A = this chain, B = another copy of it.
Amino acid sequence: SDNMSEALNREAFRQAVVNTLERRLFYIPSFKIYRGVAGLYDYGPPGCAVKSNVLAYWRQHFVLEENMLEVDCPCVTPEVVLKASGHVDKFTDLMVKDEKTGNCFRADHLLKDFCKDKLEREPNLDPKKQAELRHVLAVLDDLSAEELGAKLKEYAITAPDTKNPLSDPYPFNLMFQTSIGPSGTLPGYMRPETAQGIFVNFKDLYYYNGSKLPFAAAQIGQAFRNEISPRQGLLRVREFTLAEIEHFVDPEDKSHPKFTEVANLEFLMFPREDQVSGESARKIPIGQAVAQGIVNNETLGYFIGRVYLFLTNLGIDRDRLRFRQHLANEMAHYAADCWDAEIECSFGWIECVGIADRSAYDLRAHTDKSGVALVAHEKLPEPIEVEKLVIAPVKKELGLAFKGNQRMIVEALESMDEKEALELKATLESKGEAEFKVCTLDKVVTIKSNMVTISKETKKEHQKVFTPSVIEPSFGIGRIIYCLYEHSFYTRPSRDGDEQLNVFRFPPLVAPIKCTVFPLVQNQQYEDVAKQIARSLTAAGISHKIDITGTSIGKRYARTDELGVPFAITVDSTTSVTVRERDSKQQIRVNVDEVATVIKEVTEGLSTWGDVLWKYPTHTA
A residues engaging B (CB < 8 A)?
24-25, 28, 30-34, 37-38, 40-45, 47-49, 51-52, 59-60, 64-65, 67, 69-78, 80-81, 95, 102-104, 172, 176-183, 186, 188, 190, 197, 200-201, 203-205, 208, 210, 222, 224, 226-229, 238-239, 366, 369-370, 372, 374, 538, 541, 543, 545, 549
Contact = CB atoms under 8 A, between A and B. Distances in A.
Nearest to A42: B73
B200 A32 contact: yes
A44 B71 contact: yes
A81 B31 contact: yes
11 contacts: A30-B74, A31-B78, A33-B203, A42-B201, A43-B71, A44-B201, A44-B204, A45-B70, A45-B71, A176-B180, A222-B222
Q: Is the interface of A mostly helix, strand, loop or mixed?
A: mixed
A81 B366 contact: no
Question: Counting chain B CB atoms within 10 Å of each CB, which of A43, A74, A178, A228 scores highest?
Answer: A74
B177 A179 contact: yes
B200 A33 contact: yes
A611 to B, nearest CB: 18
Nearest to A219: B48
B78 A34 contact: yes
A115 B24 CA distance: 57
Contact of A72 (B31, B33, B38, B48): B48
A224 B190 CA distance: 11
A12 to B, nearest CB: 25
Contacts of A543: 64
Contacts of A190: 75-76, 178, 190
Nearest to A83: B34
Contacts of A549: 210
A188 B190 CA distance: 13
Nearest to A81: B31
B70 A49 contact: yes
Contacts of A205: 25, 44-45
A224 B176 CA distance: 14
